[in-house]
Copies of this chain bind each other. A is one copy, B any other.
Amino acid sequence: MDIMSKLVAASEALFDRHGFTATGMDKLTKSAGISSRTLYKHAGSKNALIASVLGERDKRFARRLEVDSIDALFKALEDWARVEGGRGCLFLRAYGETGGDSPEIVEAVLAHKARVADKIAELVIVETRQSDNADLVEQIIVLFEGATAAAIYRGEQSVVAARMAAATLLERHRL
List the interface of chain A (C-beta within 8 A of B).
17-19, 21-22, 87-89, 92-93, 95-99, 101, 109-110, 113, 117, 135, 138-139, 141-150, 152-154, 157-158, 160-162, 164-165, 168-169, 172
Contacts and interface: CB of A to CB of B under 8 A. Distances in A.
Contacts of A96: 19, 87-88, 93, 96-97
Per CB-CB distance, the 7 closest pairs between chain A and chain B, nearest first, are: A146-B146, A21-B21, A138-B161, A142-B146, A139-B165, A145-B146, A18-B99
A95 B152 contact: yes
A147 B153 contact: no
29 contacts: A18-B99, A19-B21, A19-B99, A21-B21, A21-B22, A22-B98, A87-B96, A93-B93, A93-B96, A93-B97, A117-B154, A135-B164, A138-B154, A138-B157, A138-B161, A139-B161, A139-B162, A141-B146, A142-B143, A142-B150, A142-B158, A142-B162, A142-B165, A145-B146, A146-B146, A148-B149, A165-B169, A168-B168, A168-B169
Nearest to A162: B142
Given A19-B99, A87-B96, A99-B17, A161 B149 contact: no
A168 B170 CA distance: 11
A165 B135 CA distance: 9
B150 A141 contact: yes
